[in-house]
Amino acid sequence: MITITPYVAPEKLGDYQDKLLELHQADAALNQIIPESIRHSTEWLLRQVNCFYSNKIEGNPTHPKDLLRAQDATGAKVGHRSRAIMELLAHLEVQIKLKKNAVSLSDVCTQDFIKDIHRSFYKNMPEEFMRVKDLEGRDVLDEQGRPLLIVPGQYREHTVQVGRHVPPTPAELNGYMIWLEKQFDPSKIFGTSRAIAAAALHHRLAWIHPFQDGNGRVIRLLTDCYMRCAGFGGYGLWSITRGFGRDTASYYAALARADMPRQGMTDGRGILSDEGLLHFTKYFIDTALDQVKFFSGLLEPKKLCIRIDYYFEMRAKGGLPDLSGEPLPLLKIAARDIYRLLLDRGALSRSDICNYLGKGEQTLRPIFKQMLAEGLIARKSNQQFELQLSATAIEFIFPQLW
């Protein structure tokens, strides 16, 4: 029998119930204000942010510029990529898969879904990157003295210790995962209780530690899916992982506090501290609310347009570098007008853009060509142009992301 409180009762949150309502309202407002013309590019950008911070939490120091450069290097061979870069690219691929194949309420917390996230992350990793390492970076050996390997999508078969915490034994894992699948099924949880459950799920799965390695990444990817199922329609335009990653000490401290055993008769009835879980739940809500507010400010239309203007004015003067630090080529100020028009009206044909701006196609043709080459715009299958976020423009249009 599993004697663990799954998640805290709403009434125990006190005034944090009001914060939960504020979180839902802020998410809905952000989802409404973002222009449809830039939604796709913003979600692409947030995948990069999620990827960077989730891997930063795991000790992967790769700079965001290196991540963006790696995606541009389409001809690079897998064998020439470092483990750090491959982890980031794998994380991106899983995010794209999860977004494309939206999971249902009844499936998001199933063992099959959780295992599939793990399998998707590791399936293309070469064997040398699948070896389990100890804290000193040495190979962990199995009973036969062979390097212990991560098996994609399979629960661990060895005992582990995470800091002071000793997770359930391999023989206990299936029982705990059946319990988790049942207790956190969002199709049987309603209202703001789903957000409370999302916080508890994040910790409880970390506490169970079902896989030999990769648990942290899997848990944060699962949390993204669960938050969408919890009714946060704007999730993907903001990221709670960014909040975890910007202060990893607080993140690990909050998880550790929820790891504590029950502290006396007034601390719940399970084997874990209810007070510790309540603390982590409040930390989770505070972090989520902070991130929604940050991205709401970043994406506020008037401020966004000011930063866009600044970027293109600087490009017209030749004052900005590319990802490698080399000066970007001059870009005529008419590029700003094209970009602002596409932001305001969405995809348009070349002739419509020329008509709106009152300029001839021959005049704008070289600017279209340069903007396409730099990834500032893209041509759709119907030959209309749509807005994109160029890797070189991100830090100016979306400052303080990293």
3-state SS track over the chain: CCCCCCCCCHHHHCCHHHHHHHHHHHHHHHHHHCCHHHHHHHHHHHHHHHHHHHHHHCCCCCCHHHHHHHHHCCCCCHHHCCHHHHHHHHHHHHHHHHHHCCCCCCCCCCHHHHHHHHHHHHCCCCHHHCECECCCCCECECCCCCECECCCCCCCCCCCCECCECCCCHHHHHHHHHHHHHHCCHHHCCCCHHHHHHHHHHHHHHHHCCCCCCHHHHHHHHHHHHHHHCCCCCCCCCCHHHHHHHCHHHHHHHHHHHHCECCCCCCCCCCECHHHHHHHHHHHHHHHHHHHHHHHHHCCHHHHHHHHHHHHHHHHHCCCECCCCCECCCCCCHHHHHHHHHHHHCCECHHHHHHHHCCCHHHHHHHHHHHHHHCCEEECCCCCEEECCCCCCHHHHCCCCC
Alpha carbon dihedral 18, 183, 198, 264, in 10-degree steps, equals 70
How high is the pLDDT of residue 126? Answer: 86
Same domain for 327 and 231, yes or no, is: no
Handedness of CA 27, 33, 34, 36 (dihedral sign): positive
Same domain for 333 and 357, yes or no, is: yes
Question: Has residue 373 been placed in a domain?
Answer: yes
Which residues span the domain enclosing 309?
301-397
Same domain for 237 and 371, yes or no, is: no
Low-confidence stretches of the chain (pLDDT < 70) are: 72-80
pLDDT tens digits, one per residue of 294-315: 999 998 888 999 999 999 999 9
Same domain for 356 and 218, yes or no, is: no
Same domain for 103 and 245, yes or no, is: yes
How high is the pLDDT of residue 37? Answer: 86
Cβ of 21: how many Cβ atoms within 10 Å? 11
Tell the burial category of 309 from Cβ atoms under 10 Å away from its Cβ (0-12, 13-18, 19+): middle
How high is the pLDDT of residue 203? Answer: 98
Q: Give the residue from 277, 298, 319 where a domain finishes.
A: 298
How high is the pLDDT of residue 80? Answer: 63
Question: Has residue 170 been placed in a domain?
Answer: yes
Q: How many domains does the chain have?
A: 2
Same domain for 267 and 314, yes or no, is: no
The answer to whether 34 and 42 are in contact (CB under 8 A) is: yes
Question: Has residue 5 been placed in a domain?
Answer: no
Same domain for 41 and 93, yes or no, is: yes
How high is the pLDDT of residue 77? Answer: 45
* pTM of the complete model: 0.91
pLDDT tens digits, one per residue of 320-365: 888 778 889 999 999 999 999 999 999 999 999 999 999 999 999 9
Question: Has residue 265 been placed in a domain?
Answer: yes
Question: Has residue 402 been placed in a domain?
Answer: no
Question: Has residue 154 been placed in a domain?
Answer: yes
CB-based contacts of 395, cutoff 8 Å, min separation 6: 401, 402
